[in-house]
Amino acid sequence: FLGSSAAVANDKLIELSKSNENYVMPGKDYTSDNYSKMDQINTKNVKDLRVSWTFSTGLLNGHEGTPLVVDGVMYINSSFPNNVYALDLDNPGKIKWQYKPKQDPAARSVACCDLVNRGLAYFPGGGDTPALIINNQLDGNVVALKAEDGSLYWKVENSDIKVGSTLTVAPYVVKDMVIVGSSGAELGVRGYATAYSVHDGGQVWRMYATGPDEEIGIGDDFNSANPQYGQKGLGLATWEGDAWKIGGGTNWGWYAYDPDLNLIYYGSGNPSPWNETMRPGDNKWTMTIMARDVDNGELKFGYQKTPHDEWDYAGVNVIMLSDQQIEGKDMKLLTHPDRNGIIYTLDRTNGDLVRADFLDDTVNVWTHVDMETGIPVRDPEYGTRMDHKGTDICPSAMGYHDQAHDSYDPEKELFYLAINHICMDWEPFMLPYRAGQFFVGATLSMYPGPKGDRQNYLGLGQVKAYDADSSSYKWSVMERFAAWGGTLATAGDLVFYGTLDGYFKARNSETGELLWKFKMPSGAIGYPMTYEHNGTQYVALYYGVGGWPGVGLVFDLDDPTAGLGAVGAFRELQNWTQQGGGLLVFSLD
């Protein structure tokens, strides 16, 4: 029965994802473009946008992701211990149900970057299985809750916190499976993605980023269109000895899915440890844009953006699917603003590299990307190695783009990118691997990029509208502390985003002009979503500063190199916002 109920469930989810009333997955639909066709709120009236209602989650660690809305019910995720709240939108003043897991507090001490969670998944029901809300818990457990009443339907352990493996990624439902990633590359965790059956949590497939071909899902036609990206055997051959077993390549970012191609896309993260001297080789398939057959996990293509990473340019960032004409040719594309300072556009059918543009003209680690081989060419001055203290490296380890969920307007063919503007000094050191302990091997100092205010530690971010066809930016604006959470684009010619210092902003998506802003209780590291209820368009955004840039505030740290260097870069943030955790919902009414 799996086959047919799976197809029905997928059809239902796709249908829901296309409606205005529902918001059923990260990025709104499988293209992950976080674009809404609604235009009730638009450039003319957005100045009148006001808070309609609010909800505090009762938790203070950073709030990432965005809520889901299905059939008039909103599902809210929250930071550790990852409570879930269901609110009936006809009366959001009362909690319909709540799920408050008791988690092993040990999970707290092995999370790298605050105790965040990037969102929930929804399964619309199918076969004998009811509609489900799926929640990834920091302690590595995946739980499926009945959407109706929040009761536990199944639970499965995905990650073992004893070896430092946590779970912050939003689960992702495709057909009757839920895809779950992994975290912990700062502790030597070998990354993997797993597909579980939504019916009972049974494992359908699990694929790793490193190791033997079978475990990576590499078959005969892997990278057949682009053999220069590398083919068989490299998950072992590009590592010294057993280093691949503690080699990182987790995936804690975002997914996209193409139902026609039956491929799921995501990026694998940084190799472990950060100290490059300790792991000679390309370290495949970390830092890779992966396209897998969703039914069996097989890797159709893999393009490694940063071979042998020297900077923690974890490659997990958002991937958005678009169909555009490039140089006059209709193409099925995926676009990925990477942490290494380059925004990549690939032919998503076969992995062909179509565009590789700098996210900002201040990137200095690369001179360019060789479009034939796909290999970025380095400036050794800004490399990191034991015999060289790297200074003024741009981007910093946070990348020029981190976990932000961006958006894409298919009418304008523009991507709205939430960009970091942070550079760094990097001093490596050697250290032994110990299971469940941090395994990094570098001391970082971070500070604003060249366009920022280095005196006052402001100007740490940008927002830009990117045109892939012309490899250019339609507009870009500086931000005081960065729009860490990402953007929402709407047919109202608007782009929305929240900033780390707590401003929710709306700009004209054509021109970048600031049309509206609102000071939220605490800084935002989630991304906005929009939905319609009873004919009214609402826009919602979590507040709750945290994430990697917020660790100084969250854990009350002072040493500028603490928090893997984040404390120094964001030293001024505490003078603009304090912790909080909740949701604001806006409308014109």
Ligand X SMILES: O=C(O)c1cc(C(=O)O)c2c(n1)C(=O)C(=O)c1cc(C(=O)O)[nH]c1-2
Q: Which stretch binds ligand X (CB under 6 A): 2-10, 87-95, 397-405, 442-450?
A: 397-405
The answer to whether residues 424 and 444 touch, using CB atoms and an 8 Å cutoff, is yes
184 binds ligand X (CB under 6 A): yes
**Other CB atoms closer than 10 Å to residue 349's CB: what's the count?**
18
Residue from 73, 107, 147, 185 in contact with ligand X (CB under 6 A): 185
Measured from the CB of residue 272, what is the shortest distance to ligand X in angstroms? 8
Q: Which stretch binds its own copies (CB under 8 A): 246-254, 382-390, 488-496, 498-506?
A: 498-506
Using CB distances below 5 to 8 A depending on partner kind, what does residue 581 bind out of ligand X, its own copies, none? its own copies
Could you confirm whether 453 is annotated as catalytic? no
**Other CB atoms closer than 10 Å to residue 474's CB: what's the count?**
18
Measured from the CB of residue 549, what is the shortest distance to ligand X in angstroms? 6
579 binds its own copies (CB under 8 A): yes
Q: Interface mask (CB under 8 A) for its own copies, residues 544-573, using x and -?
A: ---------x--------------------
- Residue 409: what are its φ and ψ, rounded to 5°? -100, 110
For residues 347 and 225, give the distance between their C-alpha atoms in angstroms, rounded to a whole number: 11
Tokens of 354: 């179509």
Measured from the CB of residue 113, what is the shortest distance to ligand X in angstroms? 3
231 binds its own copies (CB under 8 A): no
Q: Of 114, 258, 312, 338, which is the active-site residue?
A: 312
Q: Interface mask (CB under 6 A) for ligand X, residues 478-507, using x and -?
A: ------------------------------
481 binds its own copies (CB under 8 A): no
Among positions 48-67, residues that touch ligand X (CB under 6 A) are 64
51 binds its own copies (CB under 8 A): yes
Residue from 1, 18, 58, 212 in contact with its own copies (CB under 8 A): 58
3 state SS of 100: coil
Give which of 190, 167, 193, 169 is closest to 179, Cα–Cα. 193
Give which of 468, 524, 490 is closest to 353, Cα–Cα. 468
Using CB distances below 5 to 8 A depending on partner kind, what does residue 185 bind out of its own copies, ligand X, none? ligand X
314 binds ligand X (CB under 6 A): yes
3 state SS of 163: helix
Please say which residue, 102 or 329, places its beta carbon nearer to its own copies: 102
Cis, bond preceding 395 (omega within 30 deg of 0): yes
User: Residues binding its own copies: what is the number (CB under 8 A)?
Assistant: 34
For residues 181 and 502, give the distance between their C-alpha atoms in angstroms, rounded to a whole number: 29
**CA distances from residue 499 to 55, 218, 463 in whole angstroms, order as listed:** 19, 40, 10
142 binds ligand X (CB under 6 A): no
Residue from 70, 132, 520, 539 in contact with its own copies (CB under 8 A): 520
269 binds ligand X (CB under 6 A): yes
For residues 239 and 244, give the distance between their C-alpha atoms in angstroms, rounded to a whole number: 6
Sheet of strand 152-157: strand arrangement: 120-123, 132-136, 141-146, 152-157
**What burial class does residue 387 get, using C-beta atoms within 10 Å of its C-beta: 0-12 exposed, 13-18 middle, 19+ buried?**
exposed
**Other CB atoms closer than 10 Å to residue 521's CB: what's the count?**
17
Q: Which residues face 453 on adjacent strands? A: 458
Using CB distances below 5 to 8 A depending on partner kind, what does residue 543 bind out of its own copies, ligand X, none? its own copies
Q: Which stretch binds its own copies (CB under 8 A): 251-259, 274-282, 307-315, 576-584?
A: 576-584
437 binds its own copies (CB under 8 A): no
403 binds ligand X (CB under 6 A): yes
Residue from 8, 95, 431, 557 in contact with its own copies (CB under 8 A): 95
Please say which residue, 350 or 574, places its beta carbon nearer to its own copies: 574
Using CB distances below 5 to 8 A depending on partner kind, what does residue 276 bind out of ligand X, its own copies, none? none
Please list, residue by residue across 188-223, b when 16 or more beta carbons sit within 10 angstroms of its beta carbon and e when fewer do: bbbbbbbbbbbbebeebbbbbbbbebebbbbeeebb
For residues 168 and 64, give the distance between their C-alpha atoms in angstroms, rounded to a whole number: 9
139 binds ligand X (CB under 6 A): no
Written in H, E and C, the secondary structure of 55-97 is EECCCCCCCCCCCEEECCEEEEECCCCCCEEEEECCCCCCEEE
Residue from 53, 433, 438, 555 in contact with its own copies (CB under 8 A): 53
Sign of CA dihedral 101, 105, 106, 107: positive
588 binds its own copies (CB under 8 A): no
Measured from the CB of residue 570, what is the shortest distance to its own copies in angstroms? 14
Based on its alpha-carbon atoms, the radius of gyration of the chain, rounded to whole angstroms, reads 22
Sign of CA dihedral 150, 154, 158, 159: positive
CA dihedral 397, 567, 482, 541 (to 10 degrees): 110
56 binds its own copies (CB under 8 A): yes
The answer to whether residues 216 and 235 touch, using CB atoms and an 8 Å cutoff, is yes
Measured from the CB of residue 551, what is the shortest distance to ligand X in angstroms? 9
164 binds ligand X (CB under 6 A): no
Residue from 330, 455, 534, 575 in contact with its own copies (CB under 8 A): 575
543 binds ligand X (CB under 6 A): no
Residue from 159, 168, 283, 587 in contact with ligand X (CB under 6 A): 168
Measured from the CB of residue 189, what is the shortest distance to its own copies in angstroms? 31
3 state SS of 104: coil
Residue from 548, 570, 576, 586 in contact with ligand X (CB under 6 A): 548
3 state SS of 351: coil
Which active-site residues does the annotation give? 312
Binding site for ligand X (CB under 6 A): 64, 112-113, 116, 168, 183-186, 250, 252, 269-270, 312, 314, 398, 402-403, 547-548
Binding site for its own copies (CB under 8 A): 50-51, 53-58, 60, 85, 92-95, 98, 501-503, 518-522, 543, 553, 574-582
